[in-house]
Amino acid sequence: MSRYLPHSVRTKLLPERVAYRLGLAVPVGVAGVLCFAPFGLFWLAPLVWFGLFVLLRRAESPREAALTGLAFGLGFFLTGVSWVYVSLSVFGGMPWWLAGVAAFLFCGVMALFPMLAGGIFKRWAPDAVWRQALFFAALIATVDWLRSWIFTGFPWLAVGYSQAPPSPLAGFAPLLGVHGLSLLVALAGALLLRWKHGLTFLAVSVAAGFGLQHVQWTEPVGEPISVALIQGNIPQEMKFRPEAFLRTLNLYRRLVSENPAQLTILPETAVPAFFDQLPPDHAEFLKSAAQQHGGDLVFGTITGQGDHYWNSAVSLGTSPTQIYSKTHLVPFGEFIPPGFSWFMHLASIPMSSFSRGPETQAPLAVAGQQVAVNICYEDVFGEEIIRALPHAGILANLSNTAWFGHSLAQPQHLQIARMRAVETGRPMLRATNTGMTAVIGADGSLQAILPAFAEGVLRAKVSAYQGLTPYARYGNLAFLVLVGLCLLTGQRRGRQNGIA
- The answer to whether residues 139 and 239 belong to one domain is no
The backbone torsions φ and ψ at residue 41, rounded to the nearest 5 degrees and listed phi first, read: -85, 65
Q: Are residues 422 and 461 in the same domain?
A: yes
Is the predicted pLDDT of residue 297 greater than 60, yes or no? yes
277 and 333 fall within a common domain? yes
Using 50, 70 and 90 to split pLDDT, how confident is the model at 494? Answer: very low
> What pLDDT score was predicted for residue 331?
76
Shared domain for 108 and 72, answered yes or no, is yes
Tens-place pLDDT, residues 252-286: 999 999 999 999 999 998 988 889 888 888 889 99
The overall average pLDDT reported for the chain is: 90
Instruction: Identify whether residues 376 and 279 lie together within a single domain.
Output: yes
Do residues 399 and 289 both lie within one domain? yes
Q: What is the DSSP string of 423-443?
A: HHT--EEEEESSS--EEE-TT
Supply the pLDDT for residue 425.
98
Total structural domains in the chain? 2
Higher-pLDDT residue of 353 and 388 is 388
Nearest to 330 by CA among 274, 386, 270, 374: 374
Q: Is residue 500 part of a domain?
A: no
Annotation marks residue 196 as catalytic:
no
Whether 165 and 284 map to the same domain: the answer is no
Residue 402 falls inside a structural domain: yes
Indicate whether 7 belongs to any domain. Answer: yes
Based on the fold, state whether residues 170 and 266 are members of the same structural domain: no
Report yes or no on 496 lying in a domain: no
The answer to whether residue 498 sits within a structural domain is no
Task: Identify the sign of the CA torsion 362, 391, 298, 279.
Answer: negative
Specify which residues 394 forms β-bridges with. Answer: 371
Judge whether 239 counts as a catalytic residue.
no
Least confident of 51-65, 152-166, 256-270, 332-346: 332-346
pLDDT digits (tens, 9 = 90+) for 426-441: 999 999 999 899 999 9
Both 393 and 419 in one domain: the answer is: yes
The C-alpha atoms of residue 191 and residue 180 are separated, in whole angstroms, by: 17
The mean pLDDT value for 290-314 works out to: 91
Over the stretch 125-136, which tens digit does the pLDDT of each residue have? 888 999 999 999
CA angle 432, 437, 441 (to 5 degrees): 130
Supply the pTM of this predicted model.
0.92
197 and 228 belong to one structural domain: no
Per-residue pLDDT, 278: 86
Whether 122 is catalytic: no
pLDDT tier for residue 326 given thresholds of 50, 70 and 90:
very high
Of the residues 107, 122, 239, 376, only one is catalytic, namely: 376
Sorting pLDDT into bands at 50, 70 and 90, what band is 19? confident
Asked if the structure places residue 497 within a domain, the reply is no
Rounded-to-integer distance, Cα 289 and Cα 308, Å: 30
Measured CA to CA, the distance from residue 179 to residue 145 in angstroms comes to 6
Choosing from 268, 334, 378, 423, the catalytic residue is 268
Cα angle, residue 362 at apex, residues 361 and 364 outer, rounded to 5°: 120
For the beta carbon of residue 222, count every other beta carbon within 10 angstroms.
Answer: 12
Task: Give which of 33, 118, 26, 117 is closest to 74, Cα–Cα.
Answer: 26
Is 495 inside a domain boundary?
no
Tell me the torsion sign for CA atoms 378, 383, 384, 386. Answer: positive
Residue 70 lies in a domain: yes
Residues 153 and 261 in one domain: no
> What are the DSSP calls for 52-87, one per residue?
HHHHHHH-SSHHHHHHHHHHHHHHHHHHHTTHHHHI
Percent of the chain, pLDDT > 70? 91
- DSSP helix/strand/coil, 373: strand
Radius of gyration of the chain (CA): 24
Q: How far apart are CA 241 and CA 394, in angstroms?
A: 34
Question: Cα(421)–Cα(465) distance, rounded to whole angstroms?
Answer: 11
pLDDT category of residue 51 using cuts at 50, 70 and 90: very high
d(CA 387, CA 372): 9
pLDDT at 188 over 50: yes
pLDDT of 352 reads 58
Kindly name the residue from 64, 122, 239, 326 that is annotated as catalytic.
326
- Domain check: are 87 and 235 in the same one? no
3-state secondary structure at position 295:
coil
* Domain with 366 in it: 221-468
What percentage of the chain exceeds 90 in pLDDT? 72
Which CATH number do you get for residue 414? 3.60.110.10
Residue 498: its pLDDT value, please? 40
In angstroms, rounded to a whole number, what is the distance separating the alpha carbons of residues 221 and 462?
11
pLDDT at 336 over 80: no
